[in-house]
Structure 1
């Protein structure tokens, strides 16, 4: 079984993405390294908040993000989704299709759904979805502990919440924003730091 570790920067970016667009479904990519049966999610690339279904925009963003990951000597390890509705913890169909595409290259791919109800707490606001055993089945939700997923820094939720309260979510950009203003640094998001 695969063990996953989520770096503070990756957790921070997915929380900031959800906070910046609270009335939209947000989708982003999880990138990192694989060593044996250990996956380290070192960063997150905020992708979409408008065009969350498979579209030419999503495909273009995925292609650019893949080039960026390769330049950084990282690989796609999955994606994250922050749904627009508070209690919605499902993986949208478009995101499932993106996850399946990632899984073809990376069988250990995971989908992390942001638990909107826990965002304002000091707990990890993540619900992991693991790939189905059968290709026709849906991705299955589980718990962080049973999926062997941990935060590299257990204080990451508290630190991320503090950055949201300071308004730092406004510094984050995604690919949709980049399409409207090419100056938006959506791949690196250098203005965002832990």
Structure 2
């Protein structure tokens, strides 16, 4: 089999098209892009992330780029360990005004996240790149989403 080198833009467009098609069937939209770096103190945003987020912003006016701040990721952070960015009028990604970022159900989110971290659920998380390497993998992470829904239902007092 011969491999074809795709430009990053074409590759990202292909991924976004596949994800957007699936999302539309689920009644969802792609609203932004998320990045978590492997280094504890690394808060840089790589060029592939910037290109991906910018491409999303071409189709979604209020698109956001969410960056995990690993240093603030603790078992019980007082505020979400995330930086939310948006594109300004010059198309640069800048932090969104903190008063415009609302975090609903933060305590519930913390409890669910703590449970998932303790269960090492991140080891079962499949991203789209992994799916492209092995199409048998489920990039929609249905099993994890079922688990999260169950945990949220328990948190809300429903069963």
TM-score range for the pair, normalised by the shorter chain length: 0.7 to 0.9
Aligned-residue offset at 1:57? 4.2
What are the within-5 Å matches in structure 2 for residues 8-19 of structure 1? none
Does residue 96 of the first structure (1) align with residue 50 of the second (2)?
yes
Deviations 1:28-56 (A, max 9, x none): xxxxxxxxxxxxxxxxxxxxxxxxx9365
SS in 1 for 2:83: strand
Q: Equivalent residue for 2:143? A: 191
State the distance in 1 between where 2:93 and 2:27 align. 28
Q: Number of residue pairs matched? A: 138
Instruction: Please tell me whether residue 128 in structure 1 is matched to residue 81 in structure 2.
Output: no
Q: Tell me which stretches of 4 or more aligned residues in structure 1 moved more than 3 Å.
A: 55-59
Q: CA deviation at 1:82?
A: 0.6
Distance 1:120 1:72, change over 3 A: same
Structure 1 Cα separation of the partners of residues 84 and 14 of structure 2: 26
Q: Which has the higher strand share?
A: 1
The structure with the largest helix share of the pair is 2
Q: Could you state the TM-score of these two structures normalised by the residue count of structure 1?
A: 0.63
TM-score by length of 2: 0.75
Q: Which residue of 1 aligns with 2:123?
A: 170
Question: 2:23 matched to 1:69?
Answer: yes
The structure that has the greater radius of gyration is 2
CA distance in 1, matches of 2:49, 2:14: 15
Aligned to 1:140: 94
TM superposition shift of 1:84 = 2.4
- Cα distance in structure 2, aligned partners of 1:72 and 1:160: 24
Q: Give the unaligned 5+ runs of structure 1.
A: 1-52
Q: Report the alpha carbon displacement of residue 69 of structure 1 after superposing the two structures with TM.
A: 0.9
1:180 aligned onto 2:136: no
Post-superposition offset of 1:88: 2.0
Q: Which consecutive unaligned segments of at least 5 residues does structure 2 have?
A: 1-6, 149-159
